[in-house]
């Protein structure tokens, strides 16, 4: 069974004031919320089940999403009584999950093919597959390289080029066996542990549309982009 875990338990503090009375996955985008868009995308890619990890104002997410039947995907819930980080809720419920599954943040807006990520992860079976995106960060200053009190190099307003995580992961269940259920675990802790133990981590490069709606300016950008991207995101 194709199974996804949506992480929707955070307080969304960086997105205030929009998240003062709503959990971040429920902030509206067009005629629906972000989590509704993600669930529609998962269903259209053939996912049969989604587990939504909820916490802060989670009852509102349950009220809106229900059992997922309106999109043709079976939805169940796990509740964080205390914040467990990005991967902590997944570890706590690993016995309910299949051998290979998808994990994604509940505030990601992208036209990434979620099924393709999980299919490649399943075929190659690494410990973890991370969907990645190239992000350029302009620096509006002259950047100096120094050695003690001597300037040895200079770059005027450089642009830094990074490969970043998109917040979408293919996970093999046994990858989580080293962690204790109920204990906090961030994505950084998982990746660093896998690197230290020599486990295989694959990248899934993507160059389409991707926006992590974490700050008010990101949400403003999403609202500006949505009218022209609706058919790309939802296929209608």
Burial 174-198 (b: 16+ CB within 10 A, else e): ebbeebeeeebbebebbbeebeeee
Which fold would CATH assign to domain 3-234?
Spore Coat Polysaccharide Biosynthesis Protein SpsA; Chain A (3.90.550)
Averaged pLDDT, 95-110: 93
Over 70: is that where the pLDDT of 160 sits?
Answer: yes
Per-residue pLDDT of 128-138, as tens digits, reads 999 999 998 89
DSSP notation for 81-148: SS--TTTHHHHHTGGGS-SEEEEEETTEEE---HHHHHHHHHHH--SEEEEEEEEEEE--SEEEEEET
Binned at pLDDT 50, 70 and 90, residue 42 comes out as: very high
Binned at pLDDT 50, 70 and 90, residue 177 comes out as: very high
Q: What is the pLDDT of residue 13?
A: 55
DSSP 14: G
Binned at pLDDT 50, 70 and 90, residue 20 comes out as: low
Q: Whole-structure pTM over 0.85, yes or no?
A: yes
The rounded percent of the chain whose pLDDT value lies above 70 is 94
């Amino acid at each position: 069974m194709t199974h996804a875990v949506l992480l929707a338990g955070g307080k969304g503090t960086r997105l205030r004031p929009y998240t003062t009375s709503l959990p971040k996955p429920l902030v509206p985008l067009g005629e629906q919320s972000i989590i509704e868009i993600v669930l529609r995308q998962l269903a259209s890619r053939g996912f049969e089940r989604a587990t939504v990890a909820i916490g802060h104002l989670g009852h509102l997410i349950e009220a809106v999403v229900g059992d997922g039947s309106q999109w043709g995907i079976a939805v169940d819930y796990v509740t964080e009584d205390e914040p467990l980080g990005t991967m902590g809720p997944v570890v706590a419920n690993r016995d309910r999950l299949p051998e290979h599954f998808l994990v994604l943040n509940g505030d990601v807006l992208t036209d990434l093919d979620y099924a393709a990520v999980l299919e490649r992860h399943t075929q190659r079976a690494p410990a973890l597959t991370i969907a990645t995106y190239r992000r350029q960060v302009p620096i509006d200053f002259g950047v100096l390289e120094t050695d003690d009190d001597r300037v040895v190099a200079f770059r005027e307003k450089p642009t830094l080029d990074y490969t970043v995580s998109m917040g979408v992961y293919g996970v093999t269940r046994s990858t989580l066996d080293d962690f204790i259920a109920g204990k906090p675990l961030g994505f950084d802790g998982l990746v660093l542990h896998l690197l230290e133990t020599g486990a295989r981590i694959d990248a899934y490069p993507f160059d389409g549309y991707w926006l992590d709606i974490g700050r008010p300016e990101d949400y403003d950008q999403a609202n500006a982009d949505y009218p022209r991207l609706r058919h790309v995101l939802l296929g209608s």
